[in-house]
């Protein structure tokens, strides 16, 4: 596939500040993929690819689910539960006098 403006193969181009461009072609992508396989192993790269695909799929589904929720009419507001009854007023606390005193065992001869 050739680029319409230039007589060279189509590549991914990232523009940088300063007017320089970085062309990433198929050979560069294969080189990066080869380095990743050597570093992580083929099995792990396959697992990472599957996990990435699953994540992208879930993200897209979440976007579509979110779009569907905007079109639905909102349900009527549910009535709030009735307020709780106020607690009964506190009565004046009057301590009761004990009918019998407990002997003091800490001091000798007190009884």
Question: Cα separations (Å) of 8 from 4, 78, 105?
Answer: 9, 65, 106
Strand blocks (E) in 3-82: 12-15, 21-24
| Secondary structure (3-state) at 25 | coil
Q: How many CB atoms lie within 10 A of CB 10?
A: 13
Give the model's pLDDT for residue 103: 66
pTM score above 0.85: no
Give the model's pLDDT for residue 65: 84
pLDDT tens digits along 35-56: 999 998 999 999 999 999 999 9
CA distance 30 to 11: 13
In sequence order, the 6+-apart residues with CB closer than 8 A to the CB of 37 are 45
């Amino acid at each position: 596939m050739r680029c319409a403006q230039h007589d060279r193969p189509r590549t991914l181009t990232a523009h940088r500040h300063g007017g320089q461009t970085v062309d990433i072609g198929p050979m560069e992508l294969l080189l990066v993929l080869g380095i990743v396989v050597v570093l992580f192993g083929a099995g792990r790269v396959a697992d990472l690819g599957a996990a990435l695909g699953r994540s992208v799929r879930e993200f897209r589904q979440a976007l579509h689910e979110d779009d569907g929720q905007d079109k639905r009419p909102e349900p009527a507001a549910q009535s709030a539960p009735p307020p709780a009854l106020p607690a009964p007023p506190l009565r004046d606390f009057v301590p009761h006098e004990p009918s019998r005193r407990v002997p003091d065992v800490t001091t000798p001869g007190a009884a």
